[in-house]
Structure 1
Amino acid sequence: MKAATVSELKKALVRLDHDDLLDACLRLAKFKVDNKELLTYLLMKSADEQAYAREVCDDIDEQIPPARSIHKKTMRKIVRSMEKCLRYSGDKETELHVRIHFCREFVDRGIRFGNCRVSANMYAAQMKKIEKAIDKVHPDLQFDFRHEMQGLESLLR
């Protein structure tokens, strides 16, 4: 079965009455955990972006190991989880807050990559994504986020 385009789906959803639309959303939520997570974000968390960002940061804190080094598999898992949550939000400020928090945790906890270039490259990729996202926010916020980034490059040396 070939999936319909987004515009075709939008036209079909507009024609549905309230009960049918509710049934369609509930059926969609039953099929995949990602659908359920997105629906949870849209219905319950999108109203307070700052609280959502704090929640994602808390999840990151729980996933980062207390040891002074990190496995590349653990780091991939954390990054994958973070990316999924940021995709739900789509807000650049939330993205910056979470990505900077992620990198700041590595610096604050004194985590070293050692000989693992994969982990160092993942960290560098996060730094590049932060730089790209900073360019897309308001100039007043750019200064604040650049100030928060001070010292994060030290792990790349």
Structure 2
Amino acid sequence: MKKKNTAEIKPVTVNELKKEMLSLPHAELVEICLRLAKFRKENKELLSYLLFDASYPETYLDQVKAYIDAEFDGMGTTQAYLAKKTVRKILRVTNKHIRFTQSKTVEVELLLYFCKRLRRAGDLLRQSVQLGNLYAQQLRKIDKLIDAQHEDLQYDYRRQLEQLVKV
């Protein structure tokens, strides 16, 4: 029996990457960023966010909410399986945009908005155990995130959360 080669090429630490990037000339750094953008779609989306949208978080938040609206509006509720797939896709994309922003406030805003839209699906939410569990999981996540917010924001977010809990 042949032994498998288990040796892996391990990536360097973020700190080592930072040191190396600081030593590179500007033009070479730009080339590396462009190469990363060509390599994966998510890298390109993150780079687009950082260059064009990071300075305008409210506008970006509105764009993500518009995406959520469009996806929920286009979702058919006649077939539960397809509706569940669509809801999971919307949540996956929403979480990706949350990761881009790295803002707990934006995370609370987007998850609250996602849950409001999911709650409007009413019958679908009551009929599907999986979607009910997903909804409850997101509410618990929002509850934990609210604790990390400023006191003024906590009050506003708690009121919105209480409305979502009343099903």
TM-score (norm 2): 0.86
Which shifted more, 89-98 or 61-70? 61-70
Quick one: which amino acid aligns to residue 125 of structure 2? F
Report the identity percentage: 38
Equivalent-residue separation in structure 2 for 1:76 and 1:101 (angstroms): 15
Quick one: which amino acid aligns to residue 53 of structure 1? L
Q: Which residue of 2 aligns with 1:15?
A: 23
Residue deviations 1:86-117 (CA, integer Å, cap 9, x gap): 01111111111111111111334535324321
Q: Which residue of 2 aligns with 1:136?
A: 148
Matched, 1:6 2:14: yes
Report which structure shows greater RCO (CA 8 Å, sep ≥6): 1
2:118/2:125 contact within 8 Å kept? no
Q: CA RMSD in A?
A: 1.7
Quick one: which amino acid aligns to residue 159 of structure 2? H
Q: Which residue of 2 aligns with 1:105?
A: 117
Q: Any residues of structure 2 matched to 1:65-144 within 5 Å, and which?
A: 65=75, 67=77, 71-144=83-156
Which shifted more, 104-113 or 48-57? 104-113
Equivalent-residue separation in structure 2 for 1:18 and 1:46 (angstroms): 21
Q: Any residues of structure 2 matched to 1:47-58 within 5 Å, and which?
A: 47-58=55-66
Which shifted more, 58-67 or 71-80? 58-67
User: Structure 1 residues 90 and 68, CA, compared in 2 at 3 Å: closer, same or farther?
Assistant: farther
Equivalent-residue separation in structure 2 for 1:133 and 1:103 (angstroms): 14
Structure 1, unpaired ranges of 5+: none
Tell me how far 1:68 sits from its aligned partner: 8.0
Q: Which residue of 2 aligns with 1:150?
A: 162
After TM superposition, where is structure 1 displaced by more than 6 Å over at least 4 residues in a row? none
Quick one: which amino acid aligns to residue 122 of structure 2? G
TM-score (norm 1): 0.91
Q: Any residues of structure 2 matched to 1:54-65 within 5 Å, and which?
A: 54-64=62-72, 65=75
Equivalent-residue separation in structure 2 for 1:55 and 1:87 (angstroms): 15
Structure 2, unpaired ranges of 5+: 1-8
Quick one: which amino acid aligns to residue 149 of structure 2? V
Quick one: which amino acid aligns to residue 101 of structure 2? S
Q: How many residues align?
A: 155
Residue deviations 1:32-55 (CA, integer Å, cap 9, x gap): 001001101111111111111111
User: Structure 1 residues 86 and 5, CA, compared in 2 at 3 Å: closer, same or farther?
Assistant: same
Tell me how far 1:18 sits from its aligned partner: 0.7
Q: Which residue of 1 aligns with 2:35?
A: 27
